[in-house]
């Protein structure tokens, strides 16, 4: 028997034309469809035709602690927690899997991928080598990098400072400073920012030592010149 409210030709066991308002729980043992007939794919099917949001959850005034706007439970390791697909262009805009993997696609190319190993790819990063990879620019006001060593070993008494004539021969032959990666190496492998900063500081500290030594040599030459000038004056006096 089919019952109709607001219609003389019900198509379901209960067919209501108009609004339904309930002040308590609505329970469906089968499926639930809003805005369209149920399909065979979903337990809950919503077709959004004349509203800006298919589902809106408003938590204003909720007094319960640790409230959840959405709560999903699953017991299958292969569960996809959330998947947003653009059927017109046939691409998945957003995907979140139960193993923690997350993907975002802009319709042309993947722009975000978080792997199960914690590696993050932005843009077209390959995620083959590093924890975070991107082919674009990274901009920020400050960056702090941890390090294990610094270049102050240059100031240790045991440090062997390369003589300048050897540095000159090395530069003429190799076209870069000793212990500094070549242009070809940097183009191929990229630059480790902290390691490169340490190398640059090493060169600054070596240059400081060269300047200190040069200053000592200059002072010695100055003293020798003053001594010679004194002798010249004395010789001029005795020759008169």
Give me the DSSP letters along 117-162.
Answer: TS-EEETT---SSSSEEESS----S------S--GGGGGSTT--PP
Q: What is the pLDDT of residue 129?
A: 65
Mean pLDDT, rounded, for 41-50: 86
- Within 10 angstroms of residue 121's Cβ, the number of other Cβ atoms is 21
Between CA 32 and CA 224 the distance in angstroms is 102
Task: Provide, for the chain, the percentages of residues in helix, strand and coil under a 3-state DSSP scheme, each rounded to the nearest 5.
Answer: 30, 15, 55
Q: What is the pLDDT of residue 128?
A: 61
**pLDDT of 171 above 90:** yes
Give residue limits of the domains in the chain: 1-71, 72-139, 151-238
Q: What is the pLDDT of residue 118?
A: 84
Report the percent of the chain where pLDDT is more than 90.
48
Q: What is the pLDDT of residue 173?
A: 96
Q: pLDDT grade, residue 63 (50/70/90)?
A: confident
**pLDDT top residue among 129 and 51:** 51
Between CA 2 and CA 162 the distance in angstroms is 98
Between CA 17 and CA 44 the distance in angstroms is 21
Instruction: Render pLDDT for 66-87 as a digit per residue (tens, 0 to 9).
Output: 888 888 888 888 889 999 999 8
Average pLDDT, the chain: 89
In angstroms, the first-to-last Cα distance of the chain is 145
Between CA 81 and CA 102 the distance in angstroms is 10
Q: 119 has which bridge partners? A: none
- Any idea how long the chain is? 240
Mean pLDDT, rounded, for 38-57: 86
Cβ within 8 Å of residue 101, ≥6 positions away? 95, 113, 114, 115, 116
Q: What is the pLDDT of residue 59?
A: 82
Report the percent of the chain where pLDDT is more than 70.
97
Q: Would you state the structure tokens that stand for residue 22, as one six-digit string?
A: 């309930």
Mean pLDDT, rounded, for 202-217: 96
Between CA 93 and CA 107 the distance in angstroms is 7
**pLDDT of 239 above 80:** no
Q: What is the pLDDT of residue 72?
A: 87
Distance, C-alpha 46 to centroid of its chain: 36
- Within 10 angstroms of residue 85's Cβ, the number of other Cβ atoms is 13
Q: 86 has which bridge partners? A: 91
Between CA 216 and CA 62 the distance in angstroms is 78
Q: What is the pLDDT of residue 184?
A: 94
Q: What is the pLDDT of residue 125?
A: 62
Q: What is the pLDDT of residue 201?
A: 96
Pairing of strands 80-86, 91-97: antiparallel
Instruction: Render pLDDT for 93-137 as a digit per residue (tens, 0 to 9).
Output: 999 999 989 999 998 888 898 988 888 888 766 656 677 888 778
């Amino acid at each position: 028997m089919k019952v109709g409210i607001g219609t003389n030709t019900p198509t379901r066991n209960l067919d209501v034309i108009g609004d339904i308002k309930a002040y308590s729980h609505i329970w469906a043992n089968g499926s639930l469809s809003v805005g369209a007939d149920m399909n065979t794919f979903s337990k809950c099917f919503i077709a959004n035709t004349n509203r800006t949001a298919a589902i809106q959850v408003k938590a204003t005034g909720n007094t319960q602690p640790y409230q959840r706007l959405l709560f999903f439970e699953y017991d299958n390791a292969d569960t996809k927690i959330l998947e947003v697909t653009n059927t017109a262009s046939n691409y998945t805009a957003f995907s979140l899997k139960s193993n923690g993997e997350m993907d975002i696609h802009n319709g042309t190319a993947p722009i975000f991928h978080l792997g199960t190993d914690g590696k993050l790819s932005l843009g077209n990063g390959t995620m083959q080598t590093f924890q975070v990879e991107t082919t674009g620019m990274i901009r920020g006001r400050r960056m702090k990098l941890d390090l294990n060593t610094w270049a102050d070993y240059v100031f240790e008494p045991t440090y062997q400072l390369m003589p300048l004539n050897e540095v000159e021969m090395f530069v003429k032959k190799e076209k870069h400073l000793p212990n500094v990666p070549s242009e070809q190496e940097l183009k191929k492998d990229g630059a480790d920012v902290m390691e490169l900063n340490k190398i640059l500081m090493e060169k600054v500290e070596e240059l400081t030592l060269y300047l200190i030594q040069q200053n000592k040599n200059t002072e010695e030459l100055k003293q020798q010149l003053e001594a010679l000038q004194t002798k010249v004056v004395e010789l001029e006096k005795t020759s008169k």
